Amino acid sequence: MNQWKQGSDARLPLYQRLREEIMDRIASGEWPPDKPIPTEAALTQRYDVAVGTVRKAIDTLVHDGLLERSQGRGTFIRRPDFDASLFRFFRQVDAAGHARVPDSRILARTLEQPAEPIARALALPVEEQTLKLDRLRTLEDGSVLKEEIWLPATRFAPLKEIELERFGTLLYPFYESQCGQRVGSARETLTVETADQETAQALGIATGDPVVVIERVALGYDRTPLEYRRSRGPAATFRYQVEIS
């Protein structure tokens, strides 16, 4: 039985239409991450397409890191480890030299009109409000990252009333459980700037010291921008490594 959603663009190649359809089903929460998506045979019947079309659509989503195949179990929604990505650059260790993911604390939560670059990154009209979170990440009582996070206020309305103490270290599972918003991928940009007085005080460094800034746009499985984040850390703890073969 053909179950295409309304609005599917018939001008696109069939596999690409199916790819977008799968992403929409994932983004809406219809297909949860702890269970496999429907089999190729089921998708073939559901959308009345050839198995080759289904396979090509799934292959592109696997290639893009949104799905992953598990031998003998099926195809699952992939959950990227975003903190592992961030701390690939800022290597944090405890007193014993073991790698650690820092704790976090929300310092402030405000509703604000986004500046034009933030509105553009979130694909929002500038008159639409954002929910801004100011967050500090710490390791053994020392500050290692200062973060500013902007979220579309309408999508994340439940976060306006939740006690700040309930925001955990991992925000993306929290977004999903409280707001039904699933982050599937992200784009990051690295730059360097000097610390202003506020940043220096938060990080325990001198004003004017170099800091590395990681700007991240987090996207839903349907590629809708869900979060814009700026993470600032001391350049002294920054480490970049790449393997070339």
Can you tell me the distance from the alpha carbon of 145 to that of 102, in angstroms, rounded to the nearest whole number? 9
Domain containing 145 — which CATH number? 3.40.1410.10
Q: Report pLDDT for 121.
A: 96
Confidence of residue 139 (pLDDT cuts 50, 70, 90): confident
Q: Which residues form the domain of 122?
A: 82-237
Tokens for 82, please give them: 């975003």
* Secondary structure class of 156 (helix, strand, coil): coil
Phi, psi dihedral angles at 37 (to 5 degrees): -70, 165
Q: Residue 36 carries which DSSP code?
A: P
* Residue after which a domain boundary falls, among 53, 77, 101: 77
Task: State mean pLDDT over 113-120.
Answer: 95
Task: State mean pLDDT over 93-106.
Answer: 70
Residues 202 and 106 in one domain: yes
* Residue after which a domain boundary falls, among 59, 77, 95: 77
Count the domains in the chain: 2
The percent of residues above 90 in pLDDT, for the chain, comes to 58
Residues 92 and 158 in one domain: yes
pTM score: 0.77
- Amino acid (1-letter code) at residue 245: S
In a domain, 177, yes or no: yes
Tokens for 218, please give them: 């987090």
Q: Which of 14, 54, 15 is nearest to 38 (CA)?
A: 54
Q: Report pLDDT for 242.
A: 58
In a domain, 55, yes or no: yes
CB 82 within 8 A of CB 188: no
Q: Which of 32-36, 102-106, 179-183 is predicted least confidently?
A: 32-36
Question: CA end-to-end span of the chain, whole Å?
Answer: 48
Q: Highest mean pLDDT: which of 95-104, 155-164, 213-222?
A: 155-164
Sequence length of the chain is 245
In a domain, 3, yes or no: no
